[in-house]
């Protein structure tokens, strides 16, 4: 995001001596290390050291020697990090979230271990010592101040924790990142381990409770690499019909809740998950009559930026800015405007149960499938293969004022129903899911028993081509079940719909 | 719990005029009402009005007329409430937790609707208007002060919310409850709806942040019934071998964590679930070397009282005191001692995610079964029939410093394994379960991928008679699965173990 970068962004004299090439820095990472890297949803990840490390590991592997590391990040990264390392089979263990095709392949073929963790839990697990010692941190920053503080780049994620906990620190100082980001960040240093914890002093999205820079112990910095390379900047596809329909149902629902006195006219802080559907909902809000909105979310995507620009969203808190190339250009051009309206925080704060519940966040997350009783699968295909991970969806869903999950009603060109009798992996239980939305409609499950939820989900959310099958399953379960609290035919729960679809196709 | 009760405990002049019989009070509850009753794990529930209401409803039903109500409570109650009303088919809808045999029967035969809700969510759902209007509150108190405040009895639960929200209030003033309870309660009135919420000002178990009495609008009090009747006072069975073994594994684990520097010497506040196993773990702590313990929990059972008495537990916070007859006698006799060491709070505070996470609670809850990947079923038998409900287990498990689930490795005299390939209902996902304990051993799942969890759970927790079957399932899944992240054979996930057990029995 740079324009006129100064010659070096390493303004601290003493630290200049640590500048080296990415290959030299990568050579400082030993096999077996736990490596904490920056990066959250394709922004603010180190762009050179992981690539050089992958090269080095490939050479070592070619000599027949073993070399693997564990990679801990904020969330998903990019081809230069997860992609490069997964390709050369360099990752022993990955956590807490990924969305890279090469990583996914490795995990699902069984050559990479993966732990999928609530994003608000990761930093504290490391403070508590639950994941072992962090050996190396590799963190992208936008610059180093004269007195040795680090100016964060386009995401914060777990960087504060990695810098605090790692034995050795490698910094990538990326002059593509705008120095005008300076002041957008709010790094809270008030966290403690129990029994010394205090309330987190935030009562509104706009509250700044921390510092603009990362603190760092200069003695642990072992390498500084100067880079100039863009974030992933994935383009969003324009909202398709399904996404627009989903957005429409959600906006109608919110308007209805305002009318009923259950939401203020300017709603409550919005959280919006990753991906195209989530982006489309935000785009839908731009066309709505809502005003003076706020957001308390993980990732700021294109449509949310646009909502800020048009004045409908007055304040957004996130841990990462993840934009397309076009939106990035706008962001940089108007960064003084956006800096007054965007706060980037560490992910243990952006996703903190205490704050999500206090602020009363309206959570809207994507899913793979939901079952008729309101259990949600966000992570697994066929119950066995990982897609991405739970990410922050659980932090938000459990603690939200209202928790919604959305998906098109079918996947794979209509071949698969995303509403099923029983999800084959549960990430969000019936206790944490209040609203299910597909392009077909919205099911408001609040205050309903499992059986009444089932009727509503089938009626409102199922695709017409699967509705009869789901109804048949439910009706048969009502007669064939041992318990009528959550009627199921366990023998058929996973096979009923595929068999029905196959038979139907044969017709 | 009374000894020398004064003639009347209704000290407020104006309110005396509202004293009437339980039958008269019960007549004020119309069919179709949402009724919020006091009661949490067999303590502090109204003991006469529900019985009279059940009689009245039975008469009405006998005349062929319909009459049903919805019953909202803190948690489980007793035969005089859930039992009496369920027997006469008087309950349309029950929430958020029950453990009554008659209720359970109705729910599972499909004649009663039930919603099983995280206990920390109930009060706010009512404030938000998500469950509809509360029509009537029926609340047991220990007394009414001269200036019209209510002295809570042996549980708090959702009483503050029911009193605040109901159109009509019926009070049972129970002179069996000791007036010396006065001062043990801490009713926090600082809760608000978003966007007006503030941090909850508690940083230690011992902090008092509220008031000793319930506030009440006297104009909404429509009846006061004077009673003198004991709480349920269920006896605990003395710890059996399995419970003692489970307790031993947990205590070894805690000692190991202290040694590793991951826990302070006096641990962190303990939470202990309901039932005999939970009680046995507390009893095990009494025989251990731990000192200066604290508890931040829902229910204070016998063994915890005993831990306080012997000086090992210095402070306990709960929302209910649920004791056997013997322990009750001790509690009453030494109530001045216990009042300095026990604080009773509303359940939205005892179970608040903000506080559980801040205090760093060590959560120990019972379960029905766990699967090899670390998913836990706390509520369903056979995936369809409800046992009790999730209660507060999710509030604690998700936000705990360490979250443990425990069960004997088999049920029904060894016929059923409580460690299974895939649980048929998920209440706590793999993301919320860190330690699984059976009498066989303890599996510490922190930092392990699903496959490594499976190996450890089979090795440490499975009963020897089911270990080969579980290992066979896992091995076959490793070869027959499409995804090696969470290997499963979906066609056999629920049937593998029962089939194996049947074949094995035939041998
Ligand atoms: C669930 C999630 C994968 C959906 O993402 P999305 O971009 O909205 O959804 P898509 O429709 O593009 O689906 C993603 C893939 O899953 C496939 N899929 C979706 N539903 C499916 C189903 N029921 N069965 C099989 N495959 C399915 C799609 O076909 C697509 O695969 P492809 O890329 O091979 O075509 C995504 O929201 C996610 O990872 N969520 C978990 C983390 C999270 O919620 N983070 C935000 C918290 S703040
Ligand atoms: C899960 C729970 C029912 C276990 O209770 P418990 O008293 O420790 O366990 P028990 O071993 O007595 O089991 C209770 C019943 O379930 C049955 N059971 C247990 N495991 C079983 C299994 N795997 N399959 C079938 N039945 C099973 C037992 O046989 C017993 O039934 P019975 O009374 O007909 O014999 C109880 O802890 C609970 O309700 N938990 C959820 C709420 C909670 O955790 N509250 C505390 C939070 S603060």
Is any atom of ligand 2 closer than 6 Å to the C-beta of B298? yes
Contacts of A197 (CB under 8 A, 6+ apart): A191, B203, B357, B358, B359, B360
Q: What is this structure's pTM? A: 0.98
pLDDT for res B225: 98
Return the CATH number at A282: 3.40.1080.10
Query: Domain span at residue A198?
Result: 13-227
**Ligand 2 centroid – CA B407 distance (Å):** 8
> What's the confidence (pLDDT) of residue B5?
46
pLDDT in tens, A328-369: 999 999 999 999 999 999 999 999 999 999 999 999 999 999
- Between CA B97 and CA B100 the distance in angstroms is 10
B-chain CB neighbours of A477 within 8 Å are 384
Q: Do B268 and A129 touch (CB under 8 A)?
A: no
Size of the A and B interface in Cβ pairs below 8 Å: 238
Tell me, in angstroms, the distance from the centre of ligand 1 to residue A454's CA.
23
Closest by CA to A260, choosing from A269, A252, A270, is: A252
Q: ipTM surpassing 0.85, yes or no?
A: yes
Average pLDDT over residues A34-50: 98
The preferred substitution site among B118, B280, B363, B368 for testing ligand 2, maximizing ligand atoms within 8 Å of CB, is B368
The response to whether B388 counts as a known ligand-binding position is: yes
Which 378-397 residues of chain A touch chain B by CB within 8 A? 380-386, 390, 394
Going from the C-alpha of A9 to that of each of A4, A145, A148, A293, A366, the distances in angstroms are: 11, 8, 11, 36, 39
Q: Give the DSSP letter of residue B438.
A: E
Residue A402 maps to a domain: yes
B220 and B247 assigned to the same domain? no
Give the residue ranges of DSSP H helices in B181-309: 241-259, 276-286, 302-309
- Would you say A435 is a known binding-site residue? no
Residue B346 lies in a domain: no
Contact B116 A431 (CB under 8 A): yes
Assess whether A174 and A260 both reside in one domain. no
Q: Is residue B306 part of a domain?
A: no
Provide, as residue numbers in chain A, all residues whose Cβ is less than 8 Å from the Cβ of B194: 268, 358-360, 401
- Which pLDDT score is estimated for A198? 98
Domain C-terminal end among B193, B227, B261: B227
Distance of alpha carbon B320 from the chain centroid: 9
pLDDT at B1 over 60: no
B162 plus B260 within the same structural domain: no
Q: How many domains does chain B have?
A: 2
B481 belongs to a structural domain: no
pLDDT, position B497: 95
- Report how far apart, in Å, the C-alpha atoms of B370 and of each of A53, B256, B376, B414, B426 are: 40, 24, 4, 16, 9
What's the pLDDT tens digit per position in A453-503?
999 999 999 999 999 999 999 999 999 888 999 999 999 999 999 999 999
Q: CB-based contact (8 Å) between A209 and chain B?
A: no
Mark yes or no for CB contact A383/B490 under 8 Å: yes
B7 falls within a domain:
no
A positions 233-262 inside 8 Å of B (CB): 260-262
| Among B residues 77-106, those touching chain A with beta carbons less than 8 Å apart | 93
For residue A223, the SS3 value is: strand
Same domain, A247 and A203: no
Q: Which ligand is nearest to the CA of B397?
A: 2
pLDDT, one tens digit per residue, over A167-214 is 999 999 999 999 999 999 999 999 999 999 999 999 999 999 999 999
Assign B235 a pLDDT band (cuts: 50, 70, 90).
confident
Percent of chain A with pLDDT over 90: 95
Residue A318 lies in a domain: no
Q: What is the pLDDT of residue B6?
A: 55
Q: Is B451 annotated as a binding residue?
A: no
Mean pLDDT rounded to a whole number for chain B = 96
Average pLDDT for B172-180: 97
The predicted pLDDT at position A159 comes to 98
Q: From CA A355, how far away is CA A351, in angstroms rounded?
A: 8
Residue A294 host element (H or E): strand A293-296
| Residue among A295, A283, A276, A298 nearest A251 (CA) | A283
Where does a domain end: A168, A192, A227? A227
- Which candidate in B140, B226, B298, B348 is catalytic? B298
Whether B449 sits inside 8 A of A199 (CB atoms) is: no
Let me know whether B49 and B151 are in one domain.
Answer: yes
Nearest to B262 among A128, A199, A429 (CB): A128
Q: What's the rounded mean pLDDT across residues A64-81?
A: 98
Q: pLDDT at residue A2 above 80?
A: no
**Is pLDDT at A160 greater than 70 in this prediction?**
yes
Q: Which atom of ligand 1 is nearest to the CA of A381?
A: 25
Provide residues with CB under 6 Å of ligand 1.
Answer: A 273-277, 298, 365-369, 378, 381, 387-388, 390-393, 396, 411-412, 416, 418
Question: Which atom, in ligand 2's list, is nearest to the CA of B412?
Answer: 29
- On the question of pLDDT at A507 being above 90, the answer is no
**B423-447, pLDDT tens digit by residue?**
999 999 999 999 999 999 999 999 9
Which of B348, B343, B349 has the alpha carbon at shortest distance from B185?
B343
For residue B171, give every residue at least 6 positions away whose Cβ sits within 8 Å of its Cβ, in sequence order, or none: B139, B140, B141, B144, B150, B221, B223, B224, B225
The answer to whether the CB of B108 falls within 8 A of the CB of A485 is: yes
| Residue A113, H or E segment | strand A113-114
Write out chain A residues lying below 8 Å of B381, CB-based: 482-483
Same domain, A20 and A144: yes
**Are residues A376 and A296 part of one domain?**
yes
* Nearby residues of A34 by Cβ (< 8 Å), 6 or more positions away: A69, A70, A72, A131, A132, A133, A134, A135, A136
Do B494 and A495 lie within an 8 Å CB cutoff? Answer: no
| Least CB–CB distance from B385: residue in A117, A390, A483 | A483
Residue nearest to ligand 2 atom 6, measured at CA: B275
Which of B213, B245, B249, B173 is closest to B443 using CA atoms?
Answer: B249
**Do residues A43 and A191 both lie within one domain?**
yes
CB of A212 within 8 Å of any CB in chain B? no
Is B208 touching A (CB cutoff 8 A)? no
pLDDT at A197 (0 to 100): 98
Residue A295 is encoded by which pair of tokens? 């957001």
In a shared domain, residues B216 and B258:
no
Contacts of A115 in chain B (CB under 8 A): 447-449
Helical spans, DSSP H, in B310-352:
325-333, 335-339, 347-350
Residues 308-327 on B with a CB inside 8 Å of A are none
Query: What are residue A399's DSSP bridge partners?
Result: none
The pLDDT of B87-97, averaged and rounded, is 98
Give a yes or no: residue A376 inside a domain: yes
Would an 8 Å CB–CB cutoff place A493 in contact with chain B? yes
Report the pLDDT value the prediction gives residue B506, as an integer from 0 to 100.
57
Alpha-carbon dihedral of residues B159, B160, B165, B170, nearest 10 degrees? 50
Nearest to B485 among A129, A385, A491 (CB): A385
Peptide linkage before A96 cis (omega within 30 of 0)? yes
Q: Is the CB of B366 under 6 A from ligand 2?
A: yes
pLDDT for residue A274? 84
Of B170, B200, B227, which one is at a domain's C-terminal end?
A: B227
Average pLDDT over residues A232-244: 90
Q: Looking at the partner chain, which of A194, A448, A485 has a beta carbon nearest the beta carbon of B107?
A: A485
Compute the distance from residue A457 Cα to the ligand 2 centre, in Å: 30
Select from B193, B271, B429 the residue whose CB has the most chain A CBs within 10 Å, as the one to mutate to test that interface. Answer: B429
Chain A residues close to B107, C-beta within 8 Å: 484-485
Report whether B383 contacts A488 (CB < 8 A).
yes
Same-domain check for residues A30 and A111: yes
- If asked whether residues B256 and B405 sit together in one domain, one would say yes
Distance B1 CA to ligand 2 centre (A): 29
Q: Do B209 and B155 reside in the same domain of the chain?
A: yes
Distance B228 CA to ligand 2 centre (A): 32
Contacts of A108 in chain B (CB under 8 A): 482-485
User: Would A288 be classed as within a structural domain?
Assistant: yes
Residues of A noted as catalytic: 298
Nearest Cβ partner of B486 from A200, A384, A448?
A384
**Token pair recorded at residue B169:** 């209030």
| Residue A48 neighbours by CB distance under 10 Å | 22
Distance from CA of A321 to the nearest CA of B (A): 25
Facing A482 at nearest CB: one of B382, B394, B493: B382
pLDDT of residue A259 exceeding 60: yes
């Amino acid at each position: 995001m740079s324009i006129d970068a100064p010659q070096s962004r390493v303004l601290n004299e003493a630290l200049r001596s640590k500048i080296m090439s990415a290959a030299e820095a990568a050579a400082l990472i030993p096999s077996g290390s736990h490596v904490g890297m920056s990066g959250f949803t394709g922004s603010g990840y180190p762009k050179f050291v992981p690539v050089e490390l992958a090269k080095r590991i490939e050479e070592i592997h070619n000599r027949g020697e073993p070399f693997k590391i564990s990679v801990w990040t904020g969330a998903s990264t990019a081809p230069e990090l997860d992609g490069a390392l997964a390709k050369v089979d360099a990752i022993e263990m990955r956590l807490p979230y990924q969305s890279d095709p090469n990583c996914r392949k490795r995990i699902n073929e069984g050559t990479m271990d993966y732990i999928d963790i609530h994003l608000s839990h990761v930093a504290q697990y490391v403070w508590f010592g639950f994941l072992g010692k962090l050996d190396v941190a590799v963190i992208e920053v936008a610059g180093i101040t004269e007195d040795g503080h680090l100016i964060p780049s386009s995401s914060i994620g777990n960087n504060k924790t990695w810098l605090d906990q790692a034995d050795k620190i490698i910094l990538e100082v990326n002059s593509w990142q705008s120095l005008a980001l300076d002041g957008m960040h709010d790094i809270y240093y008030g966290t403690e381990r129990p029994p010394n914890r205090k309330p987190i002093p935030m009562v509104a999205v706009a509250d700044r409770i921390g510092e603009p820079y990362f603190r760092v112990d200069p003695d642990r910095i072992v390498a500084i690499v100067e880079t100039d390379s863009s974030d992933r900047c994935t383009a969003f596809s324009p909202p398709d019909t399904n996404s627009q329909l989903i957005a429409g149902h959600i906006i109608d629902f919110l308007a209805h809740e305002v009318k009923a006195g259950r939401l203020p006219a300017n709603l409550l802080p919005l959280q919006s998950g990753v991906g195209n559907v989530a982006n489309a909902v935000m785009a839908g809000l731009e066309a709505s009559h809502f005003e003076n909105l706020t957001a308390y979310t993980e990732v700021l995507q294109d449509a949310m930026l646009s909502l800020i620009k048009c004045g409908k969203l007055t304040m957004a808190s996130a841990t990462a800015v993840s934009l397309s190339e076009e939106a990035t250009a706008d962001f940089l051009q108007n960064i003084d405007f956006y800096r007054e309206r965007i706060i980037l925080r560490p992910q243990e704060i952006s996703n903190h149960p205490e704050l999500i519940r206090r602020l009363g966040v309206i959570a809207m997350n994507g899913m793979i499938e939901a079952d008729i009783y309101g259990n949600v699968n966000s992570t697994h295909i066929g119950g066995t293969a990982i897609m991405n991970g739970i990410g922050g969806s659980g932090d938000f869903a459990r603690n939200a004022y209202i928790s919604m999950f959305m998906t098109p009603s079918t996947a794979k060109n209509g071949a698969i129903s995303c509403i099923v009798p029983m999800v084959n992996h549960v990430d969000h239980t019936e206790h944490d899911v209040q609203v299910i939305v597909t392009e077909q409609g919205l099911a408001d499950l609040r205050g309903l028993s499992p059986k009444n939820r089932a009727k509503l989900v089938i009626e409102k959310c199922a695709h017409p081509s699967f509705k009869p099958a789901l109804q048949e399953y439910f009706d048969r379960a009502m007669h064939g079940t041992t318990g009528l609290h959550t009627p199921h035919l366990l023998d058929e729960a996973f096979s009923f719909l595929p068999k029905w679809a196959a038979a139907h196709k044969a017709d």
